[in-house]
Amino acid sequence: MVKVGTFEETARHAEVILSATSGAAALEPLTLAGALNLRGKILVDISNPLDFSKGMPPTLTVCNTDSLGEQIQRAFPEAKVVKTLNTMNAFMMVNPGQLAGGDHTIFVCGNDAGARVAVTGYLKDWFGWKDVIDLGDISASRGMEMILPIWVRLFGLLRTPVFNFKIVR
């Protein structure tokens, strides 16, 4: 059974929170959820600071010396923010096996090592991710978010969102 509730009600009862909004709107629903309701919980951030206001290709509203992931962590310092799933489309997020037998890479980062380990487990157990690279603290979300402009260009060129990056090592 699925229950519908406000951001605050949902966050209060959630064990893990998934922030899956547009980058420009990312902080508002979390603010409505309430810092108290986010405290101590894993907050998985998949949002990207893409700005399409000047058309294609998009620019980033924040980059280089800051990131949306870091802004969320600063706004909610007692939440365990983990950035992941932001470098692909929704179909790939939940079904990595649809491409190359799942032989491609996903990244995680966040300040809480235990939260990163937990999210890595969710990615592997719930969705079947095989190659998860832990990039360390939340400042790594800068690079993760800066992948998106090239992703958008590749989407236009390839005319399909069914692709991803593979770190060969």
Would you call 148 exposed, middle or buried from its count of C-beta atoms within 10 A (0-12, 13-18, 19+)?
A: buried
The mean pLDDT of 37-49, rounded to a whole number, is: 96
For residue 28, the tally of other CB atoms under 10 A from its CB is 11
b/e sequence 86-105, b meaning 16+ C-beta within 10 Å: bbbeeebbeebeebeeeebb
| CA angle 72–147–16, rounded 5-degree value | 35
**pLDDT tens per residue across span 102-144:** 999 999 999 999 999 999 999 999 999 999 999 999 999 999 9
What percent of the chain has pLDDT above 90?
A: 83
Looking at residue 80, what is its pLDDT? 98
Q: pLDDT for 78-99, tens place per residue?
A: 999 999 999 999 999 999 999 9
Position 73 scores a pLDDT of 98
| Angstrom distance (rounded) from CA 140 to CA 12 | 28
Enumerate domains of the chain plus CATH numbers. 7-158 (3.40.50.720)
pLDDT at 1 over 80: no
Amino acid at 100: A
User: Is pLDDT at 5 greater than 90 in this prediction?
Assistant: no
In the chain, the amino acid numbered 75 is A
Pairing of strands 131-134, 42-45: unpaired
Write down the pLDDT at residue 4: 82
Is the overall model pTM greater than 0.75, yes or no? yes
CA 111-114-115 angle, to 5 degrees, is: 65
- Mean pLDDT throughout 23-44? 94
